Chain A
Amino acid sequence: MKRLLLALLFVSSAALAVPAPETLPDPAQEARARSLQKEFRCLVCQGESIDESGAPLAADLRRLIREHIRKGESDAEIKDYLVARYGDFILMDPPFQADTYALWLLPFGVLALAGAIGTVVVLRARKRATAVSHR
């Protein structure tokens, strides 16, 4: 076990020693990578995208995204790849699908309901106001 850990330590420090920073030479491709990495969650931290996270896993994912961009894959292909590998949890924004219909539609429901109740209240108050002024 200890030897394994030691080996891992060397591997990771070797990876860190690679001087290339995580950027693509082509500015357009780099911009795509930057916007893509805002959409994926850092799986080991809470509430951060891999764009914001300092965790090693997030750095690996940032590098992975750049490799796929360099290979010429589209944003959708990269997204599908990551979801297939890590599940929906990796998406910052939940997809619109059967188990999230409620999540996406409930705010509209509340707005409609609150708006409807509010309208009724205002109409009733007006009715009383007219009744008072006609008396």
Chain B
Amino acid sequence: MTGELGQLALCLALALAVVQAGAGLMGARSANAAAVASGAALGMFVFVALSFGALVYGFVTSDFSIADVANNSHTLKPLLYKITGVWGNHEGSMLLWVLVLSVYGAGMALLRRGGERLTAAALGVQGLLAVAFILFILLTSNPFLRLDPMPFEGAGLNPLLQDPGLAFHPPTLYTGYVGLSATFAYAAAAMIAGEVNRAWANAARPFMLIAWIALTLGIAGGSWWAYYDLGWGGFWFWDPVENASLMPWLVATALLHSALATERTGAFRVWTLLLSIMAFSLSLIGTFLVRSGVITSVHAFASDPKRGVFILLILSVAILGALTLFAWRAPKLESGTSFEPASRETTLLINNVFLVTALAVVFFGTLYPILLAAFDVKLSVGAPYFEVFFAPIFIALMIVLPFGPRLSWRRGDLRGAFRTLLPALGVAVVTAVVVLAVTAPRSLVGAGAFAVAGWVIGASGVDLVQRFRAKTLNIAAMAAILAHAGLGIALMGVAGTNLWRSEALELLGPGEIMTIAGYDLRFEGVRIVEGPNYRAAHADIDVIKDGRVLGRLAPERRAYPAEGQETVQTAIRTTGFEDLYVALGDDRGQGRWTLRAYVNPLAPFIWFGAAVMALGGLASLWGRVRAIFFAREAEPAVA
């Protein structure tokens, strides 16, 4: 019964989405229609939420008469994985996508940023997207289809996904992906309403920030999940699915910076519009790549060509429509702003040049093999390709970065900026010297990377101290200080793990010891442990350093009988500066097992840095929220 209710709610949501789209697009002319669009957006959110709730209910109660539940759940699964399993499959994850879309729609309707006309037109565009994606679900990916006869037991969920990461990673990432739809909708609305001015960039800002924060956390969280779950000690594999999430992030980062200038001085208006279109287009392309089966991975749950064609259709209409609108409006916009070469505008422009180049690298590297496959040429583009480009691009970007916040709008003082940054330069030099002195093997690249990280973090420190003294430390300045320092911290983590990782692979019997980077690992043997829905080979390993037992690591290999699959459960011991990472290999008989161990220096910094970056975004968002709710008049133009 709940299945039918869920489907009914989704159909009603579709009807309301049609109303929202129609009324919203007309609402650019009539205030009445604008009110209707807002009401429809709120109603659509309620019905999508009901529909989603019905599916969750089906999963929690293991209602195997629903095909989606039967194919992806199991009575023995722990409750957490019954709930998260809702989006651990294609149909449910698309419903989550639409749920997030409707939440943003409701937010736009409630906040009415940028006035009636802009809000109405933006809701109209959002409504069109909702219509397209609800139709996609109902026609090709209906999660409420019934099974008759009803199976006695479900097929279970891919064990790799039976991890707390599934509770966090997809909802966060979707909040990011889909959040860019709000920015897209505002950009399109500004063009439809003929109001391409500073107001729309200001109206879209909070949504842009939420999307960026969520993307940052979603990507970092996914990387951490891959790190501890897959058992190779790596944190980023340049897998097409990872790249699909990185592309919108790069554009969203460029957009956040470009929109700052648009909002403050009206500069780069055309470019900010284009970036808004690009950011969401890349979200759609990412959805297409992952959901269509063009690439195979743990993320691509099912490949059905019909779905791929449908998403390709949505994607083409959305992108071409927006670009047509852009081609029609953009030439009429005069780009009348003026600024000196030494100004904040120029630094933001340099930021965008580098980020767009980085985007191009990921874009070509990801799509080239797919393109060539159409001509029967099999070719792979792996980590070395991406890294050889990314390293110099990001180093160059980060060398310029500290100047941005130190230069004023329109006309800045480059020499003055450099003078105040001298302490940061000192930090950079000291960092490089220390790195050269204490690390082995000695690496000039490593010293360079740490110098750049020190430069950026040092510059954040300089900003903090100076603004604190001058009593100009507002929330907007704090946001930039945190986000930029976070990038520096993450760079240290990436450089540290990539350059000074130790690894060892050995065959050990009970009581035998392997040594890695100053740690002795004493293998105490493997015993069988029963989990709720798996059976694990559980290894006990004592970690010994300088003759003292520090603790015990317990990596596992788990066999899931319901799904007929095996997973590796790594064990990590971290000091905050260094990870000792152990994965259990295979059984070689007579109690002997292969063990893989890694010591990853500074690995925790990667995720810590990303969290600090997100905190910077959060600070900026808080500034905006405070301005919206507590002082509508005095909204800061910069954050």
Assess whether A94 is in contact with B338, with CB atoms less than 8 Å apart.
no
> For the complex, what is the distance from the CA of A21 to the CA of B594, rounded to whole Å?
8
Per-residue interface assignment for chain B, residues 333 to 374, with 1 indicating a CB less than 8 Å from any chain A CB and 0 otherwise? 001111111000110011011001100110011001000100
Compute how far the CA of A91 lies from the CA of B268 in the bound complex, rounded to whole angstroms. 42
B432 within 8 A of A: no
Chain B neighbourhood of A87, CB < 8 A? 378
The complex places the Cα of A90 from the Cα of B379 at a distance, in Å, of 8
Given contacts A107-B364, A122-B349, contact A94 B380 (CB under 8 A): yes
Q: Smallest CB-CB separation from A128: which chain B residue?
A: B338
Interfacial residues of chain A within 81-121, with CB under 8 A of chain B in the complex: 87-94, 99-100, 102-103, 106-107, 110-111, 114-115, 118, 121
- The answer to whether A46 has its CB under 8 Å from any CB of chain B is yes
Complexed CA–CA distance, A110 and B297 (Å): 29
Spot the interface stretch: B102-110, B154-162, B231-239, B319-327.
Answer: B231-239
Known: A128-B338, A132-B338. A94 touches B357 (CB 8 A): no
Chain A residues near B411 (CB, 8 Å)? 129
Q: Would A126 and B594 be within 8 Å (CB), given that A94-B380, A103-B381, A106-B360 are in contact?
A: no
CA distance A49 to B384 in the complex (A): 11
B571 at the interface (CB under 8 A from A): no
Residues of B within 8 A of A94 (CB): 379-381, 385
Q: How far is the CA of A70 from the CA of B297 in the complex (A)?
A: 36
Complex CA distance for A90 and B345, rounded to whole angstroms:
45
Q: Which of B179-235 contact A (CB under 8 A)?
A: 231-232, 234
Residues of B within 8 A of A47 (CB): 237-240, 297, 382
The interface bits of chain A over 17-58 (1 if a CB of B lies within 8 angstroms of the residue's CB, else 0) are: 101011100000000000000010100001111001110000
10 closest pairs, A vs B, by CB? A92-B382, A128-B338, A47-B239, A110-B360, A93-B384, A52-B232, A129-B338, A89-B378, A114-B353, A111-B357
- Taking CB atoms, residues of chain A closer than 8 Å to B346 are 122
Q: Does chain B have a CB within 8 A of A125?
A: yes
B535 to chain A, nearest CB (A): 19
Q: A16 at the A/B interface (Cβ < 8 Å)?
A: yes
Contact of A21 with B505 in the complex, beta carbons under 8 Å: yes
Find out whether the CB atom of B341 lies under 8 angstroms from the CB atom of A126.
yes
Which residues of chain A have C-beta atoms less than 8 A from B296's C-beta? 46
Q: A22 CA to B587 CA in the complex, in Å?
A: 15
Closest A residue to B410 by CB, please name it: A129
Known: A93-B384, A106-B360. A99 touches B239 (CB 8 A): no
Q: A46-B296, A111-B357 are in contact. Are A23 and B505 (CB under 8 A)?
A: yes
Q: State which of B350, B383, B568 has its C-beta within 8 Å of the C-beta of A118.
A: B350
Taking A93-B382, A110-B360, A122-B339 as known contacts, 10 extra A-B pairs with beta carbons closer than 8 A to each other, sorted by chain A number, are A17-B589, A19-B588, A39-B384, A46-B239, A47-B297, A91-B380, A94-B381, A110-B357, A125-B337, A131-B338
Tell me, in angstroms, the Cα distance from A123 to B594 when the chains sit together: 62
A-contact 0/1 string along B577-589, CB 8 Å cutoff: 0000000011011
B29 near A: Cβ within 8 Å?
A: no
5 A-B contacts (beta carbon < 8 Å): A46-B295, A92-B383, A94-B379, A118-B349, A125-B340
* With A22-B505, A100-B379 as contacts: A125 and B338 at CB distance below 8 Å: yes
A118-B97 Cα distance, complex, nearest whole Å? 36
What is the distance, in angstroms, from B610's C-beta to the closest C-beta of chain A? 21
Asked whether B586 lies within 8 Å of A16 as measured between CB atoms, the reply is: yes
Tell whether, in the assembled complex, residue A106 and residue B382 are in contact, meaning their CB atoms are under 8 Å apart: no
Asked if B1 is at the interface (CB within 8 A of a chain A CB), the reply is no
**Residues on the A chain within 8 Å of B410, using CB:** 129
CB of A1, distance to nearest CB on chain B (Å):
20
Q: How distant is the Cα of A49 from the Cα of B378 in the complex, in angstroms?
A: 16
Q: How far is B338's CA from A54's CA once the two chains are assembled, in angstroms?
A: 58
- Does B132 reach chain A (CB closer than 8 Å)? no
Q: Are B340 and A129 in contact (CB under 8 A)?
A: yes
A106 to B336, CA, bound (A): 32
Q: Is B425 an interface residue (CB 8 A)?
A: no
Whether, in the assembled complex, B592 has its beta carbon less than 8 Å from a beta carbon of chain A, the answer is yes
Q: Are A118 and B505 in contact (CB under 8 A)?
A: no
**Distance in angstroms between the alpha carbons of A102 and B367 in the assembled complex:** 12
Nearest-CB residue, chain A, relative to B507: A21
Instruction: Assess the B365–A125 pair: CB atoms within 8 A.
Output: no
Interface residues in B510-534 by Cβ distance below 8 A to A read none
Indicate if B468 sits at the interface (CB-CB under 8 A): no
The answer to whether B267 has its CB under 8 Å from any CB of chain A is: yes
Q: How far is the CA of A89 from the CA of B377 in the complex (A)?
A: 9
A107 to B338, CA, bound (A): 30
Question: Is B356 a contact of A110 with CB atoms below 8 Å?
Answer: yes
Using CB atoms, name the residue of chain A closest to B509: A19
Most buried by B among A17, A23, A110: A110
B589, A115: Cβ atoms closer than 8 Å: no
Tell yes or no: B168 within 8 A of A by CB.
no
Nearest-CB residue, chain A, relative to B587: A16
Complex alpha-carbon distance, A111 and B214, angstroms: 28
User: What is the distance, in angstroms, from A42's C-beta to the closest C-beta of chain B?
Assistant: 10
- CB-CB under 8 A from B383, the residues of chain A are 49, 92
Min C-beta distance of A132 to chain B, whole Å: 6
Residues of B within 8 A of A49 (CB): 382-383
Please give, as numbers and ranges, the residues of chain A lying within 8 Å of B360 by CB-CB distance.
Answer: 106-107, 110-111
CB < 8 Å neighbour of B368 from A103, A118, A127, A128: A103
Report how far A107 CA is from B361 CA in the complex, Å.
6
B152 sits at the interface (CB 8 A) = no
The complex places the Cα of A125 from the Cα of B381 at a distance, in Å, of 40
Q: Which of B239, B267, B341 has the most CB of A within 10 A?
A: B341
Residues in A neighbouring B234, C-beta threshold 8 A: 52
Q: How far is the CA of A10 from the CA of B197 in the complex (A)?
A: 73
Min CB–CB distance A15 → chain B (angstroms): 11
Please, which residues of chain B bring their CB within 8 A of the CB of A128?
A: 336-338
* Contact bitstring B60-92, A, C-beta under 8 A = 1, else 0: 000000000000000000000000000000000
- Complex Cα–Cα for A41 and B381 (A): 10
Which residues of A from 50 to 78 have beta carbons under 8 Å from B?
Answer: 52-54
Contact A88 B382 (CB under 8 A): no
Contact at B382–A114, with CB atoms within 8 Å?
A: no
Measured between C-beta atoms, what is the minimum distance from B331 to chain A in Å?
A: 16
Query: How many angstroms between the C-alpha atoms of A89 and B410 in the bound complex?
Result: 51
Q: Is the CB of B592 within 8 A of A89?
A: no
